[in-house]
Amino acid sequence: MGKTIAVGMSGGVDSAVAAYLLVRAGHDVRGVTSINYQASRCCDSRSILQAKAAAEHIGIPYQTIDVILPFRQKVVEAYIDGYKSGVTVNPCTICNGEIRFEEIFDEAEWQFSAEAMATGHYARIRQDPATGRWQLSRGLDPSKDQSYMLYRLRQEQLARTLFPLGELSKAEVRALAAEIGLAVANKPDSQDICFVMDGHAAFMREALGDAMVPGPIVDLAGNVLGRHEGIALYTIGQRRGLGVAAPAPMYVLRLDAATNTVIVGPRDSAGLTALVATRFNWVSLAAPTAPFAAELQVRYRTVPVPVQVTPQPDGNVHIACDEPQFGVSPGQAAVIYHGDMLLGGGVISGGG
């Protein structure tokens, strides 16, 4: 007898094929689309209609679930507050840990006794037979792997989570969608933050209004090179849009919220050889105590780099890089891998 499974359906091809595969496997599948925000790519009226049509085509019940309030409080406000204070926030990792696999599952469990939550993420889950621990690995398609965005998932969440596409390539998913007649078989992928509809700058200007205060752009010696429009519009490593005159290209090195200052300098000053990650979530292994070698990924879709990982007594993690890493910003996710296995991840607090 199959499980009762809630499948998060965004109106795209991946979630629709995930739902189809679970139906084919004999599960009682219910399609759900979360209403996250008043304007959002993943839950606008068109996406809802596409998700509903896909569910009807597959032959499963479908409904929407309202998570506007927790999404606003836990994701949108974190994004706004982070950039306001000079921190680069990745809202998708927060959404996965706090909304998609928590709030939405809880509501689905209450409404129709869902036993598990499934999505169209390209990632894999297995249970270690020796320890019983749930482990998270990259999807087999390296061009679509989304495990980085899932590092916040806790053991109890992984135990009730399914990723039916983890063993498939994107080409195979589209081919299967076309084979079964899904209208979204060739729908383009969405890469942008779902609630930032008209670009980061426009979103922050609307969100902060008069709280967006201009200030100085200075070099490492403190010389004023120009004016910025508000530090929420800038991120470490940024080069374009600075509007400063200098003999060599300048990059954002630091954002000082206390003095409302953007500090810029040459590219070779924008690299970190060590960093500290806080609020660390150990995923595929229990929290280690001894240093070990691993690979670090600090952005989605970047190549992991060799590092030395040293767990700290306070629960933070010190990460030493073999080579300087360009444009690493507080607030970004530092995710640790061993090969394809995601060991854990945390939030970068700064250089170590």
Q: Which residues belong to the active site? A: 95, 194
Per-residue exposure over 199-231, b if at least 16 CB sit within 10 Å of its own CB, e if not? eebebbbebbeeebeebbbbbeeeeebeebbbb
Torsion of CA 313, 126, 163, 197, to 10 degrees: 10
Residues in Cβ contact with 198 at an 8 Å cutoff, skipping those fewer than 6 apart: none
Q: Tokens 């195979």 correspond to what residue?
A: 172
Instruction: Answer whether 265's CB lies under 8 Å from 279's CB.
Output: no
Distance CA(189)–CA(177), nearest Å, equals 14
List Cα–Cα distances, 214 to 29, 221, 250, 301, in angstroms. 51, 20, 19, 32
Distance CA(84)–CA(78), nearest Å, equals 10
Other C-beta atoms closer than 10 Å to the C-beta of 302 total 11
φ, ψ at 8 (rounded to 5°): -70, 115
Strand order in the sheet with 215-218: 224-228, 215-218, 261-265, 251-256
Q: Give SS3 for 99.
A: helix
214 alpha carbon, distance to own chain's centre: 29
